[in-house]
Homo-oligomer: A and B are copies of this chain.
Amino acid sequence: MKKYYYKCFDCGKTYDKDEIEKNLIYLCPSCGMIEKNQPLRGVLLIEYDYESIQKKYKRKEFLKLQPGRFWQYNYLWPLDLKNPSISSLLRNDIEKLSLPSNCLLKYSFNGNNFFVLDDTRNPTLSFKDRASSLVALKAKELGIKEIAAASTGNAGSSLAGICARLGLKSMIFVPKLIPEAKRIQIQSYGAEIYLVDGDYDLAFDTCLEISSEKKLYNRNTGYNPLTIEGKKSAAYDIYMTTKGKMPDLIFVPTGDGVVLSGLYKGLWELKELGWIEKLPKLIAVQAEGSNAVVRYMKDQKFEYMPAKSIADSISAGAPRCLYMTYDAIIKTKGEAIQVSDNEILEAQKFVAQNYGILIEPSSSSTFAAYKKYISLNKLRDQTALLLFTGNGLKDTSALKSWNPNIEPSSPKLLKEKLLNK
């Protein structure tokens, strides 16, 4: 029996892993659908034989693993570690994909302790590396030498960086208005980069068409099921680092909803295995100018609205994984919260100055939402965890917006001023 199979989130049909992977199929062959400015239909999930795993592997042993090293739990990871192109990487080369093991730490705000899962020091300084690493290794397993992706910036630089680490080629399609710093990162890693004369949606479609004709492997976020599967490792890392004492609430930056969907997948598996009893509530955090999930929670209706927010990494007019995100929020008794760009920038400043972590606006949205949650008196005695998914240095323009310019002074003037002379 194969280790895992694919299952459609929408229609529930299951598929043999080889049928999907070897034919470079990404969405459900039966009901999958991509429409302009619409969430995806027929997103595939991976399922394992949880009953056998439960018999063979013990919670206690799993908890002893070191966080940030997915190759340690091969039985819950959709890779064939015995495939020569993968096994040859072990152990030195695969370490190049590992995340810091000290990624989860406790902080305090107004007397409330909270946890942070800090993904800002990953190989390319973002959470996206969790997905890119899995996708890149799958390409190696399949014998494909080049991976394509559409990206607003972070997914592209992550894929480009991970590919460079593994000796693969990458082809990245970005919208023409990509911030310069993010373009430079993608280029620096040696990716073939194309500026599409339009928005992210157009880059997404162009990328799909070209990668499919050229038989490249595709890493479009939410579309390739491994982008969700890769991100589930965050749930495991939280589980290992807290020694199984999961927080009550997890605040997740939410644009396309793939981070939240991936996190939920990992949590759901831990419950399926009987390794946790209760699912933490997932709090989807959105920017006011990109709040499709918040709106969908109200009436389960999706209406496309162009996204506009300083938090570019969670700006998505049509979240690709909207339905899965909704499902995860409902199943965990969570909710969706929106915060303003102003609150996001204030949070970015507060986190930098009080905790010494430079994060990008999408990440600081979680702190803004946490503050809001407290001020609404909803926290009570629940423990909270915030995901910090991207380093603030990936694009310093947001930091620049709240740091005034300074004029030079002579030493004489400085001494007068500072020493009251």
Chain A positions near chain B (C-beta within 8 angstroms): 92, 95-96, 98, 100-102, 105-106, 121-125, 161-166, 173, 176, 180-181, 183-185, 187-190, 193-198, 202, 205-206, 209-210, 213-214, 349, 352-358, 391-394, 396, 399-400, 403, 406-411, 414-415, 418-419
Complex CA–CA separation, A155 to B150 (angstroms): 37
Give the complex CA separation of A176 and B354 in angstroms: 27
Report copies per complex.
2
- Bound-complex Cα distance A197 to B163 (A): 44
A411–B214 touching, CB < 8 Å: no
Beta-carbon contact of B352 and A197 below 8 Å: no
B residues in contact with A95, CB < 8 Å: 102, 105
Contact B92 A105 (CB under 8 A): yes
**A63–chain B nearest beta-carbon distance, Å:** 18
Instruction: With A92-B106, A353-B164, A414-B194 as known contacts, state yes or no: A188 contacts B409, CB within 8 Å.
Output: no
Contact check, B411 vs A352: say whether CB atoms are below 8 A apart: no
- Bound-state CA distance A59–B42 (Å) is 58
State how many angstroms separate the Cβ of A366 from the closest Cβ of chain B.
18
Name the residue on B nearest A167 (C-beta): B354
Inter-chain contact B196/A408, CB cutoff 8 Å = yes
Residue of chain B at shortest CB distance from A350: B190
Given A100-B121, A196-B409, 5 more pairs with CB closer than 8 A = A100-B100, A121-B121, A164-B354, A188-B352, A196-B410
